[in-house]
Amino acid sequence: MTERGQISQREQSTTSDAIRDAAFQLFGEHGFGGTSVRAIAKVAGIDPALVIRHFGSKESLFLETTPVEDYFQGQFDGPLDTLGFRIAAFVLGKADARMLSVHTALMRASDSPRIRGRLREMSDTFARNLGSRLPGENAYTRALLISAQVTGLLSALGTESIPPDADRAEVAELYGRAIQGLVDQ
């Protein structure tokens, strides 16, 4: 603290980083609903009031610590006649426990307008990037439908509707054909 009793910029930054790190860990392990502000504060080693002071709400913290980078950057390059399979294979290869946990947390918290907005933002980014590659009419709409298929695949993996020991190559082939149908229209 400074002489006047104010927290220095460096202390605020360190506290914010500790909160972000704790939230990232806990949201990934327990989802949005299963993570409390108190739990975040405990892991960060701070008073719970500081979580709200720094981020305003648990929802704001969740949105700030939920990665939104374009996982699919560069995945739409290459020949269009194999794009559906490549997308499915990429999801099946990239979907680790962390990615599935974040996806599940976002879906479970989608009753919140701000989190629904984040999901729409992610879907729109996917669709704009993919739609720019698709030929024919309704490219953006088809890309949105492919985004929904990818969301469904992530949900099936996250809930183990597709068992963890399933043959990933076979799943990629089958799911890839479904995606390819929208690519080819």
Residue 100 counted as domain residue: yes
pLDDT of residue 2: 47
Q: Which residue range is the domain that position 52 belongs to?
A: 9-65
Do 55 and 88 lie in a common domain?
no
The dihedral sign for the CA sequence 98, 126, 111, 53: positive
Return phi, psi of residue 101, to 5°: -65, -45
Tell me the one-letter amino acid at 100: L
Q: How far is CA 132 from CA 18, 104, 138, 169, in A?
A: 40, 28, 11, 27
Q: What is the CATH number for 142?
A: 1.10.357
Residue 2 counted as domain residue: no
pLDDT of residue 70: 65
Whether 31 and 100 have beta carbons less than 8 Å apart is answered as no
Do 134 and 105 lie in a common domain?
yes
pLDDT of residue 97: 76
Is residue 104 helix, strand or coil?
A: helix
Q: What is the mean pLDDT of each run of 10 residues along the chain (185 residues)?
A: 52 82 87 90 94 92 77 87 94 82 83 89 91 94 96 91 90 96 93
